[in-house]
Amino acid sequence: MTDPLIVGWAHTKFGKAEAPDTMALMAEVARPALDHAGLGPEAVDGIFVGVYNNGFSRQDFQGALVAMGTPELAGVPFMRTENACATGSAALYSAADFIASGRGKVALVIGAEKMSATPGDQVGDILLSASYVPEEGDIPGGFAGVFGRITDTYFQRHGDRSEELAMIAAKNHENGMRNPYAHMQKPFDVAFCNTVSDKNPRVAGPLRRTDCSLVSDGAAALVLAAPDVAADLQRAIRFRARAQAGDLLALSRRDPIAFDGPRRAWAAALEQAGLGIMDLALVETHDCFTTAEMIEYEAMGLAEPGQGWRAIRDGVTRLDGALPVNPSGGLKSRGHPIGATGVSQHVMVAMQLCGDAGEMQVPGATLGGVFNMGGAAVASYCSILERMK
């Protein structure tokens, strides 16, 4: 097998984009990613696209839109993946497998979503399709309602941790201020995030607006290459590990706060890498809701079950802490264009490892973790990245 290497990337600003659709968003990153890698379109052997869609646009067949927006890529084989909020990582891992199998030497991976043109009530309904619709499809509040129930369960077992959730939100907004790609570059302190108000109303269960990620547009791209191609290029970042785990879709058939899939994905990735969690310099994790980040602290091994709140309370996951989590601002501040998220997370860590993260930079970062999750801890992807050159 041939280990794939990340050799280039590109990223749009997340937010409410002027680009009318995913075709335009993908065109904004396709050629810039190849230019960053130092490769031309003729070098690309496969295109791997992650777009959730499922109603955000009448136009589907999203893989075919790359060449429509970037005609010099016409004729290159393509495929599109969908795995809920882990759609981007699904595309990336498919591309990595494509290179590892020897079927190609260069792959272009693009994740994108155009969400802001869809009315808010329709957005909630579209996102609920990533739940088990026969049982969860009518939960009030859309997917926030699903995580509202998860949060309620956590609080019932482990006490009200609203203040710690507010601390996570405030941390990620503070970090997002340093990220030029972030959707929301605005600070909110813990007191604001922890207070229900007209500007920060309850959304579902204990969750307030500041506990919820943003409805965003955006795209991100990565270029993967085989080692013999990467040898002649400027940069190369390897997957020290990449692991995937699944779980049952219906919350009724599992413990909703165990996050067993994320726990198994992290354990497998750390075992592959021969590392402990504190060997990493940073982690970009899937904070679709602040509750998710808190429970993911437990899944990655920063805290025992029911004790994830201690990691933020003790400052471990702050930018100046022992293990900075979401120095980019995470989904909470950077934004969450569904198909783009997993690719974006890998770009953020790659930038850190190359020392190109600007004001977000974690000093001396040589190893970084990525955790991307589809649905309520149903599809879990965990990568550990390491700079080779």
Q: Which one of the listed residues 85, 193, 212, 382 is annotated catalytic?
A: 85
3-state DSSP assignment of residue 39: coil
CA-based nearest residue to 242, from 5, 45, 44? 5
Tokens of 187: 């600070």
354 catalytic, yes or no?
Answer: no
Q: 10 Å Cβ neighbour count for 278?
A: 11
Q: Which one of the listed residues 11, 173, 286, 336 is annotated catalytic?
A: 336
CA-based nearest residue to 354, from 386, 322, 320? 386
| 329 vs 325: CA distance, rounded Å | 9
Q: For residue 119, how far is the Cα from the chain centroid? A: 23
| 65 vs 303: CA distance, rounded Å | 43
Contact yes or no for 342/84 (Cβ under 8 A): no
Per-residue CA distances from 266 to 261, 296, 308 (Å):
9, 10, 15
Q: How far apart are the first and last CA of the chain?
A: 21
183 catalytic, yes or no?
Answer: no
Gyration radius of the chain's alpha carbons: 19
Contact yes or no for 52/345 (Cβ under 8 A): no
- Please list the active-site residues: 85, 336
